[in-house]
Amino acid sequence: MGGIDPCALDVDPRQHLDIVFDLAERHGVGIDIHLHEPAELGLFSAQQIIERVRALDMRGRVTIAHAFFLAGISESQRAQVLADLADLDIALATVAPSGRGTLPLLEILDAGVRIGLGQDGQRDYWSPYGNTDMLDRTWQLAFTNGLRRDSDIERALETATLEGARVIDPTRSRSESRGVGVGETADLVLLPGEYPASAVMDRPGNRTVVRAGRVVARDGELV
């Protein structure tokens, strides 16, 4: 069930969110709310979302996409809202925007909040920068966050892979081993690189895509 900018678009956040949460609860589905509202306005909407998740016990079933407001509030306000998101298992999703919408990735991860990386579109009316290459978008996430250490760049890569999987499947533990474990579906991308951070920086094109244990693409071509 989707929602978007309860204050900025409908100018009636309570009714907007009441309808979204009522429909989701009635039909037993999750919620994805796109929240572009900045600073204090976005914080107010986020607090309304948090209030309903707590009251309806919808832990692990709500995602806030974009959450630009996190970049425009005080450090103490951000610490509090991140603590609430972690406590209620409300996930975040980002497209790694630049400027005032840049989310503080390391703060979010350190707070224990699930966050995944995606793209808003592919050279459409929203933006000409989408190309569906998630390794390229990982580079953008690291760049916009000013990440320089290999370990931090690897955390950006995890946001695009393992953390993204946890947004889709909240039962997946962050402590699970990296890669494909015994009994797991073999969905993966193989690519050359000395180490994970170098793969993000170099973004090599000769990749092999494996789906359910079967090679489905090599070097950008279906097989």
The domain that contains 80 carries what CATH number?
3.20.20.140
Contact of 102 with 141, CB cutoff 8 Å: no
Q: Which domain holds residue 122?
A: 2-174
* Number of folded domains that form the chain: 1
Please give the chain's pLDDT, 223 residues, in tens. Answer: 999 999 999 899 999 999 999 999 999 999 999 999 999 999 999 999 999 999 999 999 999 999 999 999 999 999 999 999 999 999 999 999 988 889 999 999 999 999 999 988 777 777 788 888 999 999 999 999 999 999 999 999 999 998 998 899 888 766 555 667 788 788 889 999 899 999 999 999 899 999 999 999 999 899 9
Residue 219 lies in a domain: no
Is 198 within the bounds of a domain?
Answer: no
* pLDDT for the residue 20: 97
Q: Is residue 51 domain-resident? A: yes
- pLDDT at residue number 179: 65
Query: Does 216 reside within a domain?
Result: no
The answer as to whether 210 is a domain residue is: no
Determine, yes or no, domain membership for 218: no
Look at the pTM and tell me if it is higher than 0.95: no
Report if residue 127 sits inside a domain: yes
Q: Is residue 143 part of a domain?
A: yes
**CA atoms of 96 and 120, how far apart (whole Å):** 10
